[in-house]
Amino acid sequence: MEHKREREHDGDHERVTPMLLKSRTGEFDLESILFLKLRNHGIHDLGCIGECINLERLDLSGNNITNLACLASLHLLAVLNLSANRISNLEPLRNLESLQTLNLAGNCLNSFECLYTLQSLKKLESIRLKDNTYNYTNPVCRNTSYRVHVLEMFPNIKVLDGERVVGRGSDLYQLCKDIDDTIKAGSYKNGQLIEHSDCKPWVEDSYWEIKRSNNAIVDEAYKQFSDVLHECRLLNNRATHVISQTERSMSLKKQSKQYAI
């Protein structure tokens, strides 16, 4: 018994317990918990999480979860992050009628049949099955008709894998994508990369600084936005690295041609 208690208090919590939930949220009553984040805890057993019946946002990313049965009672859940787990069966999510955003990137979903159970979720607007930022995916994403098939299965979703596909904002998203493609195309002349040393950011860095709030809901929204900003910065760093490598490679090729002449 003593050994079991020690395991519940150390870095990896294999099972979700009332003690863990209370220590993470500060809430004595499990039904009072509205937002819960349990990332990278080594969890494989969701334990008593089904007792948090008023949960609205739940982040269980980066664990070892395979069985979602305990989530079936969370009827108020609107945002669910299950990325980077070992999930292959979504059946318990069938009755989460309030669910709007679902992240399943980095799991073991190997066929479109695995996704059929989600068609009963009428409020579902955003589904993520792969995330290029963290190299998360699912076997089903390897299918050549993956994107088309998923959009046919869920004609009402607005965002797939982080890209807005329908609804308000989709035209703006496509416009920005077209502008980016045009800029990329205009960055080359006769196969050579054109340097733009005078390019400046659209906004100053301080523009994105977030002011804290005492409101729990607003504070959670800030946290979500911070996560998105973190992903954007990672993408920016990767893009900078790729551009640097490309410029170096082209410079070496140009030098070799000059020596050959």
User: 159 forms bridges with which residues in the sheet?
Assistant: 126, 164
- The percent of residues in the chain predicted with pLDDT above 90, rounded, is 52
pLDDT of res. 241:
78
Rounded distance, CA 128 to CA 80, Å? 11
pLDDT, averaged across the chain: 81
Rounded distance, CA 86 to CA 246, Å? 36
pLDDT of res. 188:
56
**pLDDT tens digits, one per residue of 20-65:** 999 989 888 999 999 999 999 999 999 999 999 999 999 999 999 9
Q: How confident is residue 66, by pLDDT bands cut at 50, 70 and 90?
A: very high
Q: 2-167 has which fold?
A: 3.80.10
pLDDT of res. 226:
72
Q: Are 38 and 15 in contact (CB under 8 A)?
A: no
Is pLDDT of 196 > 70?
A: no
Rounded distance, CA 92 to CA 73, Å? 9
Among residues 161, 156, 58, the alpha carbon closest in space to that of 106 is found at 161
Q: What is the DSSP string of 152-164?
A: HH-TT-SEETTEE
Give the torsion sign (CA, 93, 80, 134, 171).
Answer: positive
Q: How confident is residue 260, by pLDDT bands cut at 50, 70 and 90?
A: low
CA 220 to chain centre: 16
Among residues 136, 129, 106, 157, the alpha carbon closest in space to that of 234 is found at 136
Q: 3-state class of 55 per DSSP? A: coil
Cβ-based neighbours of 122, under 8 Å, separated by 6 or more: 97, 156
Pairing mode, strands 188-189 and 192-193: antiparallel
Instruction: Say how many CA atoms lie within 13 Å of 249 toward its Cβ.
Output: 8
pLDDT of res. 232:
80
Is pLDDT of 72 > 90?
A: yes
pLDDT of res. 11:
46
Q: In the chain, what are the domain boundaries?
A: 2-167, 198-261
pLDDT of res. 177:
60
Better-predicted residue by pLDDT, 51 or 203: 51
Rounded distance, CA 57 to CA 224, Å? 10
Rounded distance, CA 48 to CA 188, Å? 57
pLDDT of res. 231:
75
Better-predicted residue by pLDDT, 146 or 165: 146
pLDDT of res. 234:
77
